[in-house]
Amino acid sequence: MSGFREAFLYVVILVLGSFLVAESAIGVNWGTVSFRKLKPSTVVDLLKDNNIEKVKLFDADPEVLGALMGSGIQVMVGIPNEMLAAISSSTAVSDLWVRQNVSRYVVKGGVDIRYVAVGNEPFLTSYSGQFQSYVIPALLNLQQSLAKANLAGYVKLVVPCNADAYESSLPSQGTYRPELTEIITQLLSFLSSNGSPFVVNIYPFLSLYGSTDFPQDYAFFDGSTHPVTDGPNVYGNAFDGNFDTLVAALNKLGYGQMPIVIGEVGWPTDGAISANLTAAKAFNQGLIYHVLSNKGTPLRPGAPPMDVYIFSLLDEGAKSTLPGNFERHWGIFSFDGQAKYPLNLGLGNKELKNAKNVEYLPSRWCVADATKDLSGVANHMRIACGVADCSTLNYGGSCNGIGAKGNISYAFNSYYQLQDQNAQSCDFDGLGMVTFLDPSVGDCRFLVGVTDTSSGFGPCPRRIMIWILMIWGLCVFLI
């Protein structure tokens, strides 16, 4: 009983603290879709060294949450869309999820979980409504489960939405997509009743990438030669225009004062013409200064978003490239925790600090043997790039101009590092050779892998967890 009382008092203290301190802050998204992951403890140290006090996760990886224990970092854990059907089916399933992923960690010296993200952009147009009917039932079940765990007043449920949930030609005319009006109204009612913010993901880069007519300078924060005039308001950047479109859409449904959190915003550094280090630095630095200035937007002057989570902390080399090759290059740090460019997060350090004590494989690389006939190498390259990440070789990528032999070497090396530098993995029917001279050229960096001492909570265990919840939900339904 004393242990329960201690835990309860800890939660009470946290809740009281949340009312006393409600400052906006810059946080980061920590995604883990990578071939080679830094140890979670190394990443947590990286967060602490950079004074980053808020982090958003896309699942509830027990190894990641274990590393966050006692860190003092405020955490948003995520529930993948694939789990929504099972969680919406019964409170027994949601009780299980909350027990395993929230209440076990919110203890003295534990993890400061502030939010649970229920799904990730479940209303996305490309999903064609497949997750839509599960969102509200899942929220209701999870809220009930949090109440049973005495956490409903502290841990807030949110639903990160893509900016495609709303639309307009001018910010003041913003409305939600007609087919979403009913469910968004239900969502807003739930969020308002429980003191939760509306979480939205805004990506000016994607607007620029997807339209040749989009003015490039409108994506940044230095003013635009193509500002948007909306009555008395003039918008010099896409972020403010998008944000106020959401404000207008909220206002039309009667929730114009709802707090807004930016769940994802950022700029990639590779994989497309407009994705590079210079642009990424300009956008992210401009965004941070803009938000922390407290200037706000024309429809919310002096009231910037509650919190802004930069996307993302680290590059994720195993992500799908269907949206574009840039998808693996959003990190402000490379996969090994090294800063890509100077960035002041406004959190005390003027520049980013690199990860410490990173364990690398030996400094050697696999390259094409120039003395061999490489005319029959195409199939080897397909195999190598089908397994490893070769996205920087494509049009707009940092390695796009290194020539045919360079392309072969890059593909060979990417595969070789992924195979822990196994000698056989550099054979390629005798076309590959190991070198101790770094073959990197200019901005094209030939990577050396990190020693993967983290077991991680990879795709297979996560799928198993999804299936367990789905089967549990079906059993409860049948009974």
Give the tokens for residue 422.
């196994």
Do 293 and 431 sit in the same domain of this protein? no
Distances (CA, A) of 419 to 192, 292, 369, 426, 463: 50, 44, 19, 9, 24
Do 271 and 411 sit in the same domain of this protein? no
The C-alpha atoms of residue 458 and residue 316 are separated, in whole angstroms, by 13
pLDDT in tens, the chain (479 residues): 444 444 444 444 344 333 333 446 899 999 999 988 899 999 999 999 999 999 999 999 999 999 999 999 999 999 999 999 999 999 999 999 999 999 999 999 999 999 999 999 999 999 999 999 999 999 999 999 999 999 999 999 999 999 999 999 999 999 999 999 999 999 999 999 999 999 999 999 999 999 999 999 999 999 999 999 999 999 999 999 999 999 999 999 999 999 999 999 999 999 999 999 999 999 999 999 999 999 999 999 999 999 999 999 999 999 999 999 999 999 999 999 999 999 999 999 999 999 999 999 999 999 999 999 999 999 999 999 999 999 999 999 999 999 999 999 999 999 999 999 999 999 999 999 999 999 999 999 999 999 865 544 444 444 445 555 555 555 544 44
Do 281 and 385 sit in the same domain of this protein? no
Q: What is the tens place of the pLDDT at every residue in 133-153?
A: 999 999 999 999 999 999 999
Is position 85 within any domain? no
The catalytic position among 121, 179, 182, 327 is 121
Task: Give the global pTM.
Answer: 0.90
Alpha helices, DSSP H, located in 74-131: 84-89, 91-98
Residue with tokens 């940044």: 220
C-beta of residue 42 within 8 angstroms of C-beta of residue 337: yes
Report pLDDT for 468: 52
> Is 6 among the residues known to form the active site?
no
The C-alpha atoms of residue 30 and residue 46 are separated, in whole angstroms, by 11
C-beta of residue 419 within 8 angstroms of C-beta of residue 35: no
Is position 356 within any domain? no
CATH code, domain with 322: 3.20.20.80
Is position 84 within any domain? no
Report pLDDT for 411: 98
Domain boundary among 399, 414, 435: 435
The catalytic position among 53, 82, 179, 264 is 264
Domain boundary among 291, 313, 333: 333
Domain boundary among 418, 435, 452: 435
**Residues facing 430 on adjacent strands:** none
DSSP string covering 178-241? GGGHHHHHHHHHHHHHTTPPEEEE--HHHHHHH-TTS-GGGGSSS--SSPEEETTEEE-SHHHH
Q: Give SS3 for 161.
A: strand
The C-alpha atoms of residue 157 and residue 143 are separated, in whole angstroms, by 7
Is position 451 within any domain? no
Do 325 and 185 sit in the same domain of this protein? yes
The C-alpha atoms of residue 236 and residue 25 are separated, in whole angstroms, by 23
> Is 53 among the residues known to form the active site?
no
Report pLDDT for 286: 98
Report pLDDT for 349: 94
Do 276 and 194 sit in the same domain of this protein? yes
Do 169 and 278 sit in the same domain of this protein? yes
C-beta of residue 349 within 8 angstroms of C-beta of residue 51: yes
Do 273 and 176 sit in the same domain of this protein? yes
Is position 394 within any domain? yes
Is position 116 within any domain? no
Domain housing 373: 365-435
Do 322 and 207 sit in the same domain of this protein? yes
Report pLDDT for 15: 41
Question: How many domains does the chain divide into?
Answer: 2
82: which residues sit within 8 A by CB, 6+ positions away? 466
Q: Give SS3 for 165.
A: helix
Do 395 and 290 sit in the same domain of this protein? no
Is position 289 within any domain? yes
Do 324 and 405 sit in the same domain of this protein? no
**Residues facing 310 on adjacent strands:** 28, 265
Is position 13 within any domain? no
Do 177 and 281 sit in the same domain of this protein? yes
Residue with tokens 């195993």: 318
Report pLDDT for 415: 98
Do 308 and 405 sit in the same domain of this protein? no
440: which residues sit within 8 A by CB, 6+ positions away? 446
Cβ neighbours around 272 below 10 Å, total: 22
Report pLDDT for 466: 52
